[in-house]
Amino acid sequence: MALPHKDTVTSSTRRAARAASAAPETFDELDATEPTDADREAAYLDVSASARVGRRPKREHKPPEASVSEFDGVRYLHLGHTPWVQGAMRVRKPRVIELEYVRRMMAWLLLHDTERWGSGPSELHAAQLGLGAATLTRYCHAELALRTTAVELNPQVIAACRQWFRLPANDDRLTVVYGDAGDWVRDAAHAGTVDALCVDLYDHQAAAPVLDDVDFYAACHACLAPGGVLSVNLFGRSSKFARSARRIEAVFAEGGGSVRVVAATDEGNTVVLALKGADWPDAAVLAERARVIEARTGLDAPLWTRLLRRVPAERVAKPSAPSAGKAAALPTAATAAAAAAADKN
pLDDT tens digits, 243-300: 999 999 999 999 999 999 999 999 889 999 999 999 999 999 999 999 999 999 999 9
What are the angstrom distances between the C-alpha of 71 and each of 18, 21, 76, 77, 310? 8, 10, 8, 12, 37
pLDDT at position 327, please?
38
Element (H, E) at 151: strand 147-152
Distance from chain centroid for Cα 72: 26
Closest CA to 71 of 16, 6, 13: 16
Residue 343 is assigned to a structural domain of this protein: no
How far is 24 from 3, CA to CA, in rounded Å?
Answer: 20
| Domain residue limits at 109 | 11-309
Residue 150 lies in a domain: yes
Q: pLDDT: is 83 or 150 the higher one?
A: 150
- The count of domains in the chain is 1
Mean pLDDT, residues 31-53 taken together: 42
Instruction: Note whether residue 315 is domain-resident.
Output: no
343 pLDDT higher than 70: no
Asked whether residue 215 is assigned to any structural domain, the reply reads: yes
Residue that wins the pLDDT comparison between 258 and 35? 258
List pLDDT tens digits, range 86-102.
Answer: 999 999 999 999 999 99
Return d(Cα 34, Cα 261) in angstroms, integer. Answer: 40
Q: Determine, yes or no, domain membership for 175.
A: yes
Mean pLDDT of 202-207: 61
**Reported pTM:** 0.78
Instruction: Establish if 213 belongs to a structural domain.
Output: yes
Tell whether the torsion through CA atoms of 275, 279, 285 and 286 is positive or negative.
positive
Task: Give residues with Cβ within 8 angstroms of 263, minimum separation 6.
Answer: 236, 270, 307, 308, 309
Mean pLDDT within 116-130: 92
Instruction: Name 260's bridge partners.
Output: 273
Single-letter amino acid code for the residue at 140: C
Q: Which residue has the higher pLDDT, 220 or 327?
A: 220
Return the CATH number at 30.
3.40.50.150
Confidence of residue 334 (pLDDT cuts 50, 70, 90): very low
SS3 of 79, please?
strand
Residue 187 counted as domain residue: yes
Q: Is residue 318 part of a domain?
A: no
